[in-house]
Structure 1
């Protein structure tokens, strides 16, 4: 079992937890930053037996992606699209690696999802743009800095009774940020060492 400091680990379907700044977020929660009607939802479901093997349903309620961790090769987790094409790969080792085809070259997860100095958020860089994953009430919000020094809402992670939900703004989906955000959501919720 890996030991780590992941501020977004902690959701367990078999017990109820109180929300904290470290990301134990048991229920879907509202965020004043965006209306649910303006967000596209990607739902991690059909855990077999957990998020390491599951289906991700897209906004149109059809399978968008599959996460596959073969017990015969447990050091690799594959992300496959609905056409069974490999989209992303996680290599579980002392310092795990991540790769997202066409979006993210293979690198250490701890560099791509770097922990902030106060250990309360994680930074993510995609195609030259910086993002931040931060606990917000009962969600983990994804935002990006604006030129005025504030944060612009991009999306959020919440938890249902038997699912994890990633909601993204229309701008994020149009910017093709959904697959990278799905991989990040998995990493923040899988319970494995990502540092």
Structure 2
């Protein structure tokens, strides 16, 4: 299953549009709905929750690496660099909370990929300007927000659904700040996340 997630995540990361990213991320975190229902019926709700949390942990680890790559690129100017480091700190807090929850549920947290692996998956060598870095971060943040929103109904433990909503709120806030930094217009219509 880990190999399948790795292959699907590579496709997710290479997607050219936000719609592809968010749909793939939701599919990754939510998994097959029938499988979740079957596991829940067989008492496997906690195992299903651990699987969802581990995929979320992989997203957080990727975000930590992505912000590290951005910070080390030399492309980010001082005020933007400070915000990137702050967002990386948020993702580290998300990571730590996910690891603790996975362990509490009796699961084993997935290992983080190296920064080099993430750089290759994200095609970091193509980043040439601060705007390139911000666009990548913006796309990843929106994909993560949509993924967290998409899995809320899949959790067997309703408390985890609330945690997922809180994580989605952080990701949406990150996306909004990045969107403003890029001087992109905000969505004209409501309900722009989770679709």
Q: TM-score, normalised by structure 1?
A: 0.24
Larger-gyration structure (1/2): 2
Q: Counting strand residues as a fraction of each chain, which structure ranks higher? A: 1
Q: TM-score, normalised by structure 2?
A: 0.24
